[in-house]
Amino acid sequence: MPATLLRRAARSLSALAAVVASVLAFLALVVLTDGAGSGLAAWLPVLAVGTALALWRSRSRSRSRSRDRSRSRGRTRAARLVPFLPVVAAAALTAPVCVPTVPTARQYPPDLPFVATEHWSLDTGSSVAVYHYPPAGPGPRHPVPLVYLNGGPVRGISLLDHRFLQLLAGQGYDVYAYEQPGGGRSGLLPMDQYTADRSVRDLGAFVDRLGAGAVDVLGFSSGAVVLTRALADPGTAARVHRAVIAEPGPMDGPTARIAGHQGRESARGLAPDPTGPRSTHVPRYAVAFGLMRLGLLSLGTGLIGQAEGDNAFTAADLGGDTASAYCARDAHRIPAEDSARNFSFSPAASLRVQRTVRDSASITPQLGRSRTPAMLMIAECSSQVRQWATAVLAADPAIQRTQFMPGVGHHMWNGLDGNDDRAAAVIGAFLQGEPAPLPNSPTREGIPAFLRDHE
């Protein structure tokens, strides 16, 4: 009896090893073929080799047992099928990676009920979704248009941001916002055209298309990176009247490689886990996004197309990134930033833009020649590396003031405790050349102390 159990255990372990080996072989072929044919270029060879090996094992067993005439014909037939079980199991485990569960053509979010969506074709070849909030309210109208560059890098403008833009319009600003190509309702680009430099050219082309002369620009997060790099480009900088750089990411490759510290504690790890469906719980997208992030699949992989990846990615897939944009004290009251119908994020295109920033040369010499009046905004509980902001402050001599925003995280206008009004007051004071509501801190000379004190 023990010998029988040992033989059965050995057979089970052998079958399990065959399944694991087949799955690993499939993943290796996915990487080697870059996901060609939606993964079928990897799945079919693994299935063929597994089936051939199972046939060989089945025939070997049949020959060895043909000498034992005491076995029933039915048991012999069943025994012949046993070698095929690992093949079937491996095929069943890997097949979902090859089968789309969302549309493979881009499904754009529906239009918003409170603002018209315009579609502009820029001279760069980009097609962007544009939102216009004309000046409103009883106060004076500000003559210079204000253009908003949202974060992402390739992401739709959230409902939370739209509410803040409405607030600015209510204070007399003529507000325009557009979504980067590939984000929100904007058209897609070929994957190799998603670059930080393309984003800068798009900004210049957008201002030209607007036709109102130089404009004020508010750039947030990765939008602040685009704005910073635009200030280092004389042709684009000439189109910017005043610049507000809010919570910037790394402006170039050397800055991206800085190992610094973040602001005070954010809500990451403290806030409840985000709810809702996740594409990363679906084998196809878990494999695709995981291998792309590891650099094992190209961002233009044949496993999933750009449009399919955009359709699949959900707000819950961002995980703790949303919580990291809020202070620890706000962990249990983080507002809903967006709706499922409006949310849009392009993971592959965003990675592509980030990599072009990381691989770019220093822009410090060019930024040092900037003459466009600028303001830097830094959040108390920022999840951004502090040196990303201070590098901009140190390099750009045209930054006239820095506003350290207390009580807020990376997403400084968040609808909590009057934070939107405070952010609008800081932005408005700078754009109108009025005294700053907050102390000018840190100053360029105060950067060492700011970093040393881990502010």
User: What does the pLDDT read at residue 58?
Assistant: 64
Q: What tens digit of pLDDT does each residue of 322-379 get?
A: 999 999 999 999 999 999 999 999 999 999 999 999 999 999 999 999 999 999 999 9
Are 259 and 365 in a shared domain?
Answer: yes
Q: What tens digit of pLDDT does each residue of 128-146 get?
A: 999 999 999 888 999 999 9
Are 94 and 170 in a shared domain?
Answer: no
User: What does the pLDDT read at residue 56?
Assistant: 76
User: What does the pLDDT read at residue 260?
Assistant: 87
Q: Are 231 and 398 in contact (CB under 8 A)?
A: yes
Q: What tens digit of pLDDT does each residue of 395-404 get?
A: 999 999 999 9
User: What does the pLDDT read at residue 65?
Assistant: 54
Are 94 and 171 in a shared domain?
Answer: no
Domain span holding position 83: 2-66+73-98
What is the C-alpha to C-alpha distance for residues 241 and 20, in angstroms, rounded to an integer?
60
Residue 47 lies in a domain: yes
Give strand ranges (E) for 353-394.
Answer: 374-381
User: What does the pLDDT read at residue 216?
Assistant: 98
- Give, in order, the Cα–Cα distances in Å from 14 to each of 20, 83, 428: 10, 10, 70
Q: How are beta strands 118-121 and 127-133 bridged, if at all?
A: antiparallel
Long-range CB contact pairs, 394-397, < 8 A, 24+: 394/444, 394/447, 395/251, 395/363, 395/364, 395/367, 395/368, 396/228, 396/231, 396/367, 396/368, 396/370, 397/368, 397/370
H-state helical runs in 104-243:
159-170, 196-210, 222-231, 234-237
Asked whether the predicted pLDDT for residue 291 surpasses 80, the reply is yes
Residue 285 lies in a domain: no
Confidence of residue 10 (pLDDT cuts 50, 70, 90): low
Mean pLDDT computed over every residue of the chain: 92
Residue 55 lies in a domain: yes
Phi, psi of 147 (to 5 degrees): -105, 130
Are 192 and 81 in a shared domain?
Answer: no
Residue 301 lies in a domain: no
**Residue keyed to tokens 């799945």:** 43
Are 155 and 208 in a shared domain?
Answer: yes
Q: Are 24 and 17 in contact (CB under 8 A)?
A: no
User: What does the pLDDT read at residue 90?
Assistant: 83
Are 94 and 147 in a shared domain?
Answer: no
Are 81 and 148 in a shared domain?
Answer: no
Q: What tens digit of pLDDT does each residue of 23-37 get?
A: 999 999 999 999 999
Instruction: Provide the Cα torsion 9, 10, 13, 15; round to 10°.
Output: -110
User: What does the pLDDT read at residue 61?
Assistant: 59
3-state SS class at 384: coil
Q: What tens digit of pLDDT does each residue of 391-440 get?
A: 999 999 999 999 999 999 999 999 999 999 999 999 999 999 999 999 99
Are 86 and 137 in a shared domain?
Answer: no
Give the number of other CB atoms < 10 A from CB of residue 337. 19
What is the C-alpha to C-alpha distance for residues 409 and 265, in angstroms, rounded to an integer?
9
What are 228's two structure tokens? 């910073």
User: What does the pLDDT read at residue 85?
Assistant: 80
User: What does the pLDDT read at residue 5?
Assistant: 62
Asked whether the predicted pLDDT for residue 113 surpasses 70, the reply is yes
User: What does the pLDDT read at residue 3?
Assistant: 60
Q: What percent of the chain has pLDDT over 90?
A: 80
CATH code of the domain in which 150 resides: 3.40.50.1820
Q: What tens digit of pLDDT does each residue of 156-205 get?
A: 999 999 999 999 999 999 999 999 999 999 999 999 999 999 999 999 99
Asked whether the predicted pLDDT for residue 452 surpasses 60, the reply is yes
Are 31 and 166 in a shared domain?
Answer: no
Are 11 and 145 in a shared domain?
Answer: no
Confidence of residue 155 (pLDDT cuts 50, 70, 90): very high
User: What does the pLDDT read at residue 71?
Assistant: 47
User: What does the pLDDT read at residue 453?
Assistant: 81
User: What does the pLDDT read at residue 415?
Assistant: 94
What is the C-alpha to C-alpha distance for residues 428 and 434, in angstroms, rounded to an integer?
8
Query: Based on the structure, what is the number of domains in the chain?
Result: 2
Are 152 and 90 in a shared domain?
Answer: no
Give the number of other CB atoms < 10 A from CB of residue 213. 11
Are 83 and 165 in a shared domain?
Answer: no
